Structure 1
Amino acid sequence: MEHRESIVIIDTIIDNSNHLGDNVMIKVNMPTPLKKEKKRSLSWAIKTNLLYAATLTPNLGLEVGVSPKMSLNITGGYNPWNREGKKGDNDKWVHWMVQPELRYWFCETTNGHFIGIHGIATKYNIGGHKLFNIFDKDYRYEGWGVGAGFTYGYSWLISKRWAIEAFLGVGIVHLDFDKTDNRDWCCGESQHSTKTFFGPTKIGISLIYNIK
């Protein structure tokens, strides 16, 4: 596609007899290429969920801005600790979890309000803890889970490189697990079961470092 630009050439003719000049205007159309739009580079940020870390679960996230208002966020956590208590107990919160998320930003990427759609994949070995209506602290649960949900959050820029975001997600998770009586850890019989959970699926306050 070409853009035609008009150029006006003024030629002055001088008559020696009266030294008067006549201006002759010639309009020439010359094709000029359209200016190419400068491509917007991707933005990158790494983060950690401070609330998730408070459960002694190391976690890390990566967010990539794919357009001025859209970003792809993926976070993962892994807890390997077996916190044994008194004899007969098996207190543990062993698990890994990955949560990919597509976000829409109302202002601009990584700044202000956002909504998102997230997925969940996890594998766990949990005993001695109560979590909503999913797990009872008198049992051990070993299995996997998958789910999805919606997120709302807000991000505050505190400097050129650093930011803080808070978010809450709700959704549905399907859990498949073996359940064992925690009081008879070594010799108790396991029971296979499934459960569908609807409620909070992610919550956090993340510290963010913007790479670019």
Structure 2
Amino acid sequence: MGKVYVFDHPLIQHKVALMRMKDTSVKDFRELAKEVAMLMGFEATRNLPLEEVEIETPICRTRVRMLKGEDIAIVPILRAGLGFVDGMLALVPNAKVGHVGLYRDPETHEPVEYYCKLPKDIEKRQIFVVDPMLATGGSAVAAIDFIKKRGGRNITFMCLIAAPQGIETLQKAHPDIDIYIASKDETLDENAYIVPGLGDAGDRLYGTK
């Protein structure tokens, strides 16, 4: 059974608080998203496999521990998930990046796929699916469905803010994955927005309304 990790690190909490503020500029919001993604990614990659490698320092030869390959894929859910990519790539610059495009039907609130492009060797990679918000959970479930259908297996989900309903939905549909959350919020409103949330993350990242 996958686990749910809710971060209590002061830097993450502070930066998420700044992102919630309605007067935070697009520039600042984008920079904060990158910083939070890097801080979260640092912890979410804790269990990446290591191997001993022999190297030569300026003093002598020695054995050190290094990543056992860098078979990592970062898969943002378009478009808001793109705000997480740069922060993750700062940690693992050789990671490959796939994309899953979904939009939420305004009437049914169900996710509709319009794009999915993944690395050809996705089945060999540790996959980090990233999206700022986990609201109803529909988009996350659908994205992971698409990835699994294309061979992906070793999957972690990362988001800034989650509602209890979204966590429950994702765990029920994909009980094998770990979920990393910067903040667990109270509930969803009648429009399926997270409360208190931070508004529409895509709009705030890219200055659209």
TM, length-normalised to structure 2 = 0.25
Structure with a larger share of its residues in helix: 2
Per the normalisation by structure 1, the TM-score is 0.25
The structure in which a higher percent of residues are strand is: 1
Q: Which has the higher contact order (CA 8 A, sep 6+)?
A: 2
Q: Which has the larger radius of gyration?
A: 1
